Structure formats: C-alpha cells, structure tokens
Amino acid sequence: MDTINQVSQTGHEVLAAVLGVRGRDREKSLRVLLWRRGRPPQAGRWALPGGQLGATEDVESSIRRQLAEKVDVRQLTHVEQLSVFSAPERVPGRRVVATAFLGLVPCDVDPEIPDDTEWFPVSALPETAFDHGSIVLRARDRLRAKLSYTNLGFALAQPQFTMSALRRVYSAALGYRVSATNLQRVLSRRGLLEPTGGTAPSGPSGGRPAALFRFTGSGLRVTDPFAVLRPPSGEDVRSC
C-alpha cells in the first residue's frame, strides 16, 4: 500500500531543450533557450521551459502548448522526445518525473521571448536548476548524432542558403570547423541538397555570386544509418 501511495503522489513534468544556431556569421554558436526561475526552489537559476503535464494532454501536445504560452516558440521546425529523467531526488520535495524533448529553431527565425528568457551558448551554460544542465547536454549530443545519419540539418538552416552559410550552421552545431566543399559532397551524395537556381547577392568586396541551395525535404529521415561526422585531422568533414 505504501508503494502504491508513493506512486500516486509522483508528479510528471515536460521540459524542452530548444536549440538553435544563433549569432553573427563569425560568432555563430549552438544555443539553448532558458528562463530564470522566479520562485523557490532554486530561485534565480536558469531552467528549461516546460511545466506540469495536463490531465488531458499527451506529452508532446503539452510541451508545444507550454512553449507557445511561455516563450512564444511556435516556429519549431522539429520536436522529438529526448528521454525520461526519473531519478528519485532530481528535484526537492515530491518526486517528479520529467519527459524531456529536443526542439529546433532555424537560424533565420528570431522568436519573441519574455524578459526573463535568454539564449545561452551550450558550451557556456549558466548555473542551471536541478538536472537541467545535463538535459541540455543530452539534447546537444542527440542533435550532433542525428546530423551524422539523418537530414536533420534542414531544421537548423534557413529555407535557402549558400554552402558557406550552411557550413557555419553545421560547424556551430557540431562544435568544430566544417569544410563547405566536403559538406556539400556528403549531403549531395545522400540526395539531401538541390540547387534553387538562384544566387546570393554579392558581398561588399564583389566577386562571383554564390549559388543558393535548399534541402530536398523537411521531414526527418534516416539517410545513412552508419555514417558519422567527426572532427577530421584537417578542416574537412568525412563520412564514415
């Protein structure tokens, strides 16, 4: 009976690690959306957006609702369940199980966010509440893995891009410099890129306008289940 009562008192929350590549061209980095807690426990620390699962909601509809209500993130290009975090003492007080999601925002979207919410580099997180820092790192690792063997780059890039711009997005997400030439070769070989027929405006220094590309689809699919994008010895990306 005690075990049954303990289970019935367990709470269930949903959390979202919303990631995006943000910043100017030379300062782009993979960042996560966090909000500052205003109440105890751990008031003042930075936390992932989310909240309690509603009685009539499934977990995905709940996190989409809460993101729209709390941080105005309605333009997510990809959402997937990340993991369940159920350590008995992950939060103080009553036991709370968390279902965490990975959400992605493209680099050309700048969602309106409240004053208590900010984008932080994943590589330099502030002091986070509870186990939220480890959830962010789990989301980062999931993203990096899926960039290797799926077409998930579509969810981070803008609809049309030069290969130089896509290189910066991949470099920021993967955490190391990527060669535009080899990235184009890898993605084209997998059938993920197509030219739009247009070109980007020339920069201040002039030169030949760069060709514009787009992803061939916007739905997640596995393209090479055994591929790995990893830091090379030089400055290129190799598919293994």
Same domain, 130 and 48: yes
Q: How far apart are CA 144 and CA 149, in angstroms?
A: 9
Q: Which amino acid is at 57?
A: E
Q: How far apart are CA 188 and CA 214, in angstroms?
A: 11
Q: How far apart are CA 197 and CA 16, in angstroms?
A: 37
Q: 67-120, pLDDT tens digit by residue?
A: 888 777 767 899 999 999 999 999 999 999 999 999 999 999 888 888 999 999
Q: How far apart are CA 170 and CA 183, in angstroms?
A: 9
Same domain, 137 and 156: no
The DSSP secondary-structure symbol of 227 reads -
**Are β-strands 46-47 and 117-121 bridged in parallel, bridged antiparallel, or unpaired?**
unpaired
How many domains are there within the chain?
Answer: 2
Same domain, 179 and 95: no
| Final residue before a domain boundary, out of 142, 165, 192 | 142
pLDDT < 70: residue spans in the chain: 1-8, 74, 202-207, 232-240
| Final residue before a domain boundary, out of 93, 124, 142 | 142
pTM listed for this prediction: 0.90
| Final residue before a domain boundary, out of 142, 170, 195 | 142
Which H or E run includes 133? helix 132-149
Handedness of CA 222, 220, 159, 147 (dihedral sign): negative
Domain range for 41: 2-142
Measured between alpha carbons, how far is residue 101 from residues 13, 19, 81, 144, 240 in Å?
11, 11, 4, 15, 28
